[in-house]
Amino acid sequence: MTEFFVHNAWIVPVLPLLGGLIAAVGGRRLKAYSYLPVAVGIGLAFLVSLVLLTGSGGHTQPTAIEWIDVAGLNVPFQFRVDGLTTMMLAMVTFVATLVTVFASGYMAGDPGYPRFFAIVGLFVASMTGLVLSSHFILTYVFWEGVGVCSYLLIGFWHSKPSAAAAAKKAFLVNRIGDFGFAIALFWLWSVCIGHDLSYDNVFSKANLAGLQHHDIVGISFLLFWAATAKSAQFPLYVWLPDAMEGPTPVSALIHAATMVTAGVYLIARSTPLIVLAPEVQASVAAVGCFTALLAALIALTQNDLKRVMAYSTVSQLGFMFMGLGAGVGNLAAFAVIGAMFHLFTHAFFKALLFLASGSVMHSMGGVIDMRRFGGLRKRMPITCITFALGSLALMGIPPFAGFWSKDEILSSLHLASFKSEALGGIYPTLYLVIYWTAIATAALTAFYTGRAFFMTFFGPERLPKPDDPEADPADAGHGHGDGPDPHFGHEVAPVMWVPLAILAFCAVVVGALFGLTGWFAHHLEHSPGLAEPEDFHHAFDWFTATVSTTGALLALGLSYLFYAQRGPIPARIAGQIRPLYLASLHKFYVDEIYNWIVVLPTKVLAGAAEFFDIVVVENLVRLAGWLPRVFGKSLLAPFQNGLIQYYAAVTALSVAGLLFVFLWLSVN
Amino acid sequence: MTDAFTFDMLINYLMIGAALMVLGMVGFLARRNLIVMFLSAEMMLQGTALTLVAFGRYHGNWTGQVFTIVILTVAACEASIALALILILFNRKSSLDVTLWQEIREPGQPLTVDDPSQAEVEQFEDGPETYPHLTPAGIEPEHPTWTVHRN
Amino acid sequence: MDIFEIVRAIAVIVLGASGTWLLLPHRHGRIKPARSTLVGVVLSGIALICLATLWKPPTTFLAGAFFYLFALSSLAGAVLTITSRNPVYSALWFAAVVLSTAGLFLLSGAQFLAAGTIIVYAGAIIVTFLFVIMLAQKEGRATYDRMARSPGRATATCFLLFWSLLYALIALKTPPGLKPDDATDSRLARGSNLLIAKGIAPNTPEASVVHRALSPTNRLPDIDPGTTALGRHVAGLGGTLYTDHLVTVELVGALLFAALIGAIAIATPKPPIRPVQSNPPPPAS
């Protein structure tokens, strides 16, 4: 049984794809049941993934079908089953199943209901294909598929201009990263043995030994470039906060739990290569650290609940990159496993937080501005409790999931500073700075998460007014909307809170269950580059754990003081440091800077090109169309006067002329 | 033995054939009566036939005559269809003047009128549009229905 | 070609063109004066005679006399066919053309065709007569018979074509000093000695193509001695028609059949498919 599924891993992506196809084709008939084929498909894929997770040892890569086979390039549809893959598969399909169930309630009544589930099915197929593929080019194919689905889902409400713009922005920013990926593939192809881009070949010892150092640095850097776009790292993170324009389940599934982890996955997969380039590792850690800090600072002042979550996602992804970058020397396996572990736990609690925000938004009638509501803990007890559990996990309070994974990243950063000193003094200070910044960022995380939680669920009870311009009463009152005044603030339906509860349970236990027992590390060690060396022993880092937990608890308490009672203190502090507050509120003007540096010059160039097109090219084309018209109208049309004899005369004249030409030619 | 039909004899025949064809063409181009035009076209065919027969005689084989027989047959076909068409056209406008049939000219081209006093010939009313009508074989396709109202 | 011949050829073109133009009906249907018709007849006659002088007379007297008779009468008939104001006369003159051409066919050894042409065209002429009588006989002559469509341009165009043809033919006339059927004659080899004239060796693909084209059944028996032709006159023509040109015969038969159906389909009276809705149907009440 297990053997069968390991050898036919293609079933995992095909099941959601099939579900999506059924939803797409039969959407007209299925109507409100369109979620069924997709939910069933993804659920079955989850079961298969579970079988793979428990049953796989070592790695196998059965070939499903041959795809490209030309001279110098052989790309089979080959699916690889190893520790990293099965872990990712189980996580993705589990979260996707719950999100699909949640969305079946959340999206009810939307005119694009079948379309939504069709794209979700396609997305899950692409994502599982991405983590299953055994070949860089196959990865790239699914990488693009994931990008397309993300574009379609962000722009799901495409008649809304902001959603359309956000989708466009996400797609374009992702293209920048894809460009880096493509160049990396070309480069890799030209230097690899046998021009074979399968992971087995690329990460084989013989191949890695044959690469020049500058090749390794360049390719690693380009792969990291690709990852920054997909995983929303500085400077390409700008699309992720805007992607919150999509439906909330999409934000939970794609922009928190799965797609954004693709970049992390790619770097983790490429560990054997990147380990050889300490420069790139250091820059990965530095960029991750900077992104985490920047996003946390922005999240401090945002008033939109979903945006807070989006920036916290960016920040947490920054943590993962810090972990990936900390894998110096023989630390690699430990650091990367730490990062992947954080990815794993983060998927649960961030999906939970997004879905909980979604249910708040749902019951508030589409209002998501935290200043317009408050004190919801009595009205929405289940959402409140699950949100609280997710928040604690995100803050890194023991014993919730986030604590264990964040602690591993922090301790690997701590170790990295010693390790790189021992290895010959490469960037030890840098890693130390990153370590302390990360601890500070963790405290900031606790603060802004607490702020969001307390602003939403504590304080005097407030609901959006019925005449709120952003509120849509019809959206809020499913089943209640018959009355004269809309009912805001009811608890959501079971189909929505049951997934929340399951995810909350996971957010509490997965950290301790998988991290403390060492099961996670053991499971991943069959993947290339992730086997822990024999001489490496790691004990629980009490110092880091204590420091970070203390910081987080302090920040949590502070946020309770500031926001639970809605005191005047935050406003006073904001007034004291007004420029900084404004900068954070306006996201440090990054979008504006990009607008000036990138968008405006492009627009000027496009304007010039448009001018050239309209004035020069178009007139040239018009000329080409004008010539035959003039020629035909004035010269040829008079011949067509309808008189048969006229036509015959022209024929006779032509024959005579032709004869004369022939005679003249034969005489001369 | 020298053949009596020398190369110069061939040229004699070719000259007559060419002259016949050219005179026929003059008739076709210059005359306006459909029947005379038809006769002129037949005359052009006669010229061509003469040329072919002469070539066949010169080369000493039958091929020229066989080709002429083909031409005769084609001329017969042409005669039958042309006369049928002339009949139809005459029924429309009660005239054999070819100048009346200018409708296939390019849109926007002026009507060719030889004599200003003849301008009113264009005011012939168009007959109802008809298509060739064969005896139905098999299932007859559905025709557009019409009703004829007679006073 | 000598200069004298060129002068005569130019005379044929110029005089023939102007004569025909004078004889054709007036452009706007005005009645031409009798003098211009007379001049036209004279000019056309001179042109015909000039053309006749360009011909090389046949060797035997009787054949030569008949040749000139038929040739001149056919051309004169042609001129009269196209210039007659009355289509009935046109048809009669066309009959004269057909008769003369049949005579020329006889002279060139196409006895069956001579008979066939007369029979076929006699039928055709009678039918045409019928048509003319049925359709065109109004009170007086029809206007369009007294008008020509731009006769000047038409004549110029056609005689330009004639000029090019005549020029080519005169340029090919036998130069002095070359006997008929001279082996060194490079102008146009007869079919029977094509292989020798073109220097094609036997047993080559080209030679087999020539043999296929000039099969024994395809040869004129009287001219080509030593051939085993099927027969003379009609028998010979029938032999080649049903051996070498069988497919042609079938095709031509099919064509005739199609034309027959087409003529019936076109000419039979039939109700209009899309009648003019000049008067709308009355209300149902």
Count Cα neighbours of A98 within 13 Å in the Cβ-side half-sphere: 29
Q: Is B109 touching A (CB cutoff 8 A)?
A: yes
Q: Is A459 within 8 Å of A563 (Cβ atoms)?
A: yes
Report pLDDT for B44.
94
Please tell me the distance from the alpha carbon of residue A152 to that of residue A250, in angstroms, as a whole number: 10
Residues of chain C in contact with residue B78, where contact means CB-CB under 8 angstroms, are 259
Nearest CA in chain B to A656: B22
Whether B59 sits inside 8 A of C274 (CB atoms) is no
Query: Which of C69, C73, C125 is closest to C97 using CA atoms?
Result: C73
Is it the case that residue A493 has pLDDT exceeding 70?
yes
Strands A63-70 and A73-78, by their bridges, are: antiparallel
Report pLDDT for A332.
80
Count Cα neighbours of A583 within 13 Å in the Cβ-side half-sphere: 10
CATH assignment, C3-171: 1.20.120.1200
Q: How far is C203 from chain B (nearest CA, A)?
A: 22
Please tell me the distance from the alpha carbon of residue C194 to that of residue A370, in angstroms, as a whole number: 106
Q: For residues A505 and A430, state if they share a domain.
A: yes
Number of C-beta neighbours around residue A471 at 10 A: 20
Please tell me the distance from the alpha carbon of residue A52 to that of residue A85, in angstroms, as a whole number: 9
Is it the case that residue A640 has pLDDT exceeding 80?
yes
Q: Is A454 within 8 Å of A560 (Cβ atoms)?
A: yes
Count Cα neighbours of A303 within 13 Å in the Cβ-side half-sphere: 11
Q: Is B8 touching A (CB cutoff 8 A)?
A: no
Q: Positive or negative CA dihedral for B143, B144, B145, B148?
A: negative
Interface test with A, best of B98, B102, B105 (most A CBs within 10 A): B105
* Residue pLDDT, tens place only, C111-132: 899 999 998 887 777 777 777 7
| The three-state (H, E, C) secondary structure of A459-477, written as one string | CCCECCCCCCCCCCHHHHC
Q: For residues A410 and A523, state if they share a domain.
A: yes
pLDDT band at C158 (very low <50, low <70, confident <90, very high): very high
Q: For residues A421 and A366, state if they share a domain.
A: yes
pLDDT band at B71 (very low <50, low <70, confident <90, very high): very high
pLDDT band at B26 (very low <50, low <70, confident <90, very high): very high
Residues in chain B: 151
Domain that holds residue A651: 592-667
What number is the average pLDDT over the span A58-76?
Answer: 71
Amino acid code (one letter) for C28 = H
Report pLDDT for A476.
43
pLDDT band at C101 (very low <50, low <70, confident <90, very high): very high
Instruction: Report ipTM (2 d.p.).
Output: 0.86
Report pLDDT for B120.
47
Whether A652 sits inside 8 A of B106 (CB atoms) is no
Report pLDDT for A477.
41
Q: For residues A331 and A466, state if they share a domain.
A: yes
Q: Positive or negative CA dihedral for C145, C147, C151, C153?
A: negative
Amino acid code (one letter) for A9 = A
Amino acid code (one letter) for A122 = L
Q: Is B41 touching C (CB cutoff 8 A)?
A: no
Residue A67 lies in a domain: no
Domain count, chain A: 2
Is it the case that residue A463 has pLDDT exceeding 80?
no
Three-class SS of residue B147? coil
DSSP letters, C30-84, are: PPPPHHHHHHHHHHHHHHHHHHHHTSPPPSSHHHHHHHHHHHHHHHHHHHHHHH-
Please tell me the distance from the alpha carbon of residue A66 to that of residue A436, in angstroms, as a whole number: 50
Q: Which of C157, C158, C164 sits opposite A660 (nearest CB)?
A: C164
* Residue pLDDT, tens place only, C191-209: 777 777 777 888 888 888 8
Whether A648 sits inside 8 A of B29 (CB atoms) is yes
Please tell me the distance from the alpha carbon of residue A450 to that of residue C244, in angstroms, as a whole number: 105
Subunits that touch chain A (at least 3 Cβ pairs < 8 angstroms)? B, C
* Residue pLDDT, tens place only, B95-114: 888 888 887 777 777 777 76
Q: How far is B89 from chain C (nearest CA, A)?
A: 10
pLDDT band at B138 (very low <50, low <70, confident <90, very high): low
Interface test with B, best of C72, C84, C94 (most B CBs within 10 A): C94
Q: For residues A416 and A443, state if they share a domain.
A: yes
Nearest CA in chain A to C168: A663
pLDDT band at B25 (very low <50, low <70, confident <90, very high): very high
pLDDT band at C17 (very low <50, low <70, confident <90, very high): very high
Nearest CA in chain C to A643: C149
Average pLDDT, chain A: 83
* Residue pLDDT, tens place only, C229-247: 566 778 888 888 888 899 9
Please tell me the distance from the alpha carbon of residue B40 to that of residue A648, in angstroms, as a whole number: 13
What number is the average pLDDT over the span C216-229?
Answer: 66
Identity of the highest mean pLDDT range in A529-538, C137-146, C189-198: C189-198
Whether B105 sits inside 8 A of A644 (CB atoms) is no
Residues in chain A: 668
**Alpha carbon distances (Å) from A508 to A24, A263, A315, A388, B146:** 37, 26, 21, 11, 83
Is it the case that residue C62 has pLDDT exceeding 80?
yes
Give me the helix-helix angle, A113-132 and A136-154, nearest 10°: 160
Residue A10 lies in a domain: no
Please tell me the distance from the alpha carbon of residue A636 to that of residue C228, in angstroms, as a whole number: 58
Residues of chain C in contact with residue B44, where contact means CB-CB under 8 angstroms, are none
Query: Which of A91, A58, A5, A73 is closest to A503 using CA atoms?
Result: A91
Please tell me the distance from the alpha carbon of residue A437 to that of residue A233, in angstroms, as a whole number: 16
Q: Which of A641, A648, A649 sits opposite B109 (nearest CB)?
A: A641
Phi, psi of A69 (to 5 degrees): -140, 85
Q: For residues A546 and A425, state if they share a domain.
A: yes
Q: For residues A636 and A552, state if they share a domain.
A: no
Query: Which of A347, A356, A363 is closest to A388 using CA atoms?
Result: A356
Three-class SS of residue A60? strand
Please tell me the distance from the alpha carbon of residue B28 to that of residue C98, in angstroms, as a whole number: 17
Report pLDDT for B126.
46
Three-class SS of residue A318? helix
Report pLDDT for A208.
82
Residues of chain A in contact with residue B108, where contact means CB-CB under 8 angstroms, are 637
Phi, psi of A91 (to 5 degrees): -60, -50
Residue bearing tokens 């009906």: C25
Q: For residues A499 and A637, state if they share a domain.
A: no
Please tell me the distance from the alpha carbon of residue C191 to that of residue C197, in angstroms, as a whole number: 10
* Residue at a domain's end among A585, A605, A637: A585
Question: Taking chain B, what is the end-to-end CA distance rounded to the nearest angstrom?
Answer: 83
Please tell me the distance from the alpha carbon of residue C56 to that of residue C282, in angstroms, as a whole number: 79
Q: For residues A410 and A472, state if they share a domain.
A: yes
Residues of chain B in contact with residue C67, where contact means CB-CB under 8 angstroms, are 12
Residue with the bigger pLDDT between B46 and B94: it is B46
Burial class (CB in 10 A: 0-12, 13-18, 19+), C277: exposed
Number of C-beta neighbours around residue A97 at 10 A: 24
Residues of chain C in contact with residue A656, where contact means CB-CB under 8 angstroms, are 157, 160-161, 163-164
According to DSSP, residue A562 is labeled I
Whether A659 sits inside 8 A of C161 (CB atoms) is yes
Residue % of chain A over a pLDDT of 90: 11
Nearest CA in chain B to C280: B149
Q: Please state which of the ranges A345-349, A606-610, B105-109, C51-55 shows the lowest mean pLDDT.
A: B105-109
* Residue pLDDT, tens place only, A276-320: 888 888 889 899 999 999 999 888 888 888 888 889 999 999 999
Whether B76 sits inside 8 A of C149 (CB atoms) is no
Q: Please state which of the ranges A483-492, B22-31, C33-42, C47-56 shows the lowest mean pLDDT.
A: A483-492
Q: In chain B, what are the domains?
A: 7-105 (1.10.287.3510)
Please tell me the distance from the alpha carbon of residue C269 to that of residue A145, in angstroms, as a whole number: 69
* Tokens standing for residue B50: 């003469």
Whether B25 sits inside 8 A of A644 (CB atoms) is no
Residues of chain B in contact with residue C20, where contact means CB-CB under 8 angstroms, are 23, 26
pLDDT band at A473 (very low <50, low <70, confident <90, very high): very low
* Residue pLDDT, tens place only, A210-241: 888 888 899 999 999 999 988 888 888 888 88
Q: Is A476 within 8 Å of A487 (Cβ atoms)?
A: yes
What number is the average pLDDT over the span C258-280?
Answer: 75
Give me the helix-helix angle, A401-422 and A428-457, nearest 10°: 170
Q: For residues A492 and A636, state if they share a domain.
A: no
Q: Is C37 within 8 Å of C21 (Cβ atoms)?
A: no
Q: Is A132 within 8 Å of A120 (Cβ atoms)?
A: no
Q: Please state which of the ranges A141-145, A164-168, A562-566, C178-182 shows the lowest mean pLDDT.
A: C178-182
Report pLDDT for A474.
46
Q: List where CATH 1.20.120.1200 sits in chain C.
A: 3-171
Residues of chain C in contact with residue B134, where contact means CB-CB under 8 angstroms, are 261, 265
Report pLDDT for A483.
36
Whether A663 sits inside 8 A of C168 (CB atoms) is yes
Q: Which of C157, C163, C171 sits opposite A649 (nearest CB)?
A: C157
Three-class SS of residue C148? strand
Please tell me the distance from the alpha carbon of residue C113 to that of residue C237, in angstroms, as a whole number: 10
Residue % of chain C over a pLDDT of 90: 30
Q: Is B102 touching C (CB cutoff 8 A)?
A: no
Q: Which of C149, C153, C161 sits opposite A656 (nearest CB)?
A: C161
Residue with the bigger pLDDT between C263 and A75: it is C263
Residues of chain B in contact with residue A642, where contact means CB-CB under 8 angstroms, are 101-106, 109, 112
Q: Which of B25, B29, B112 sits opposite A641 (nearest CB)?
A: B112
Residues of chain A in contact with residue C167, where contact means CB-CB under 8 angstroms, are 663
Nearest CA in chain A to C169: A663
Whether A645 sits inside 8 A of C154 (CB atoms) is yes
Residues of chain B in contact with residue A637, where contact means CB-CB under 8 angstroms, are 106, 108-109
Please tell me the distance from the alpha carbon of residue A35 to that of residue A113, in angstroms, as a whole number: 8
* Residue at a domain's end among A539, A562, A585: A585
Helix (H) / strand (E) element for C179: namely: none
Whether B112 sits inside 8 A of A645 (CB atoms) is no
What is the count of residue pairs from B and C with beta carbons less than 8 Å apart?
319
Q: For residues A518 and A661, state if they share a domain.
A: no
Q: How far is A657 from chain B (nearest CA, A)?
A: 15
Whether C224 sits inside 8 A of B56 (CB atoms) is no
Q: For residues A601 and A574, state if they share a domain.
A: no
Query: Which of A13, A17, A29, A38 is closest to A107 using CA atoms?
Result: A38
Please tell me the distance from the alpha carbon of residue C132 to that of residue C125, in angstroms, as a whole number: 10
Please tell me the distance from the alpha carbon of residue A636 to that of residue A355, in angstroms, as a whole number: 72
**Alpha carbon distances (Å) from C183 to A192, B61, C189, C193:** 80, 20, 9, 9
Three-class SS of residue B111? coil
What number is the average pLDDT over the span C38-55?
Answer: 92
Please tell me the distance from the alpha carbon of residue A156 to that of residue A214, in angstroms, as a whole number: 43
What number is the average pLDDT over the span A87-108?
Answer: 87
Residues of A in CB contact (< 8 Å) with C are 643, 645, 649, 652-653, 655-656, 659-660, 663
pLDDT band at B32 (very low <50, low <70, confident <90, very high): confident
Please tell me the distance from the alpha carbon of residue A561 to that of residue A539, in angstroms, as a whole number: 36
Whether B101 sits inside 8 A of A645 (CB atoms) is no
Residue A522 lies in a domain: yes
* Residue at a domain's end among A585, A600, A617: A585
pLDDT band at A501 (very low <50, low <70, confident <90, very high): confident
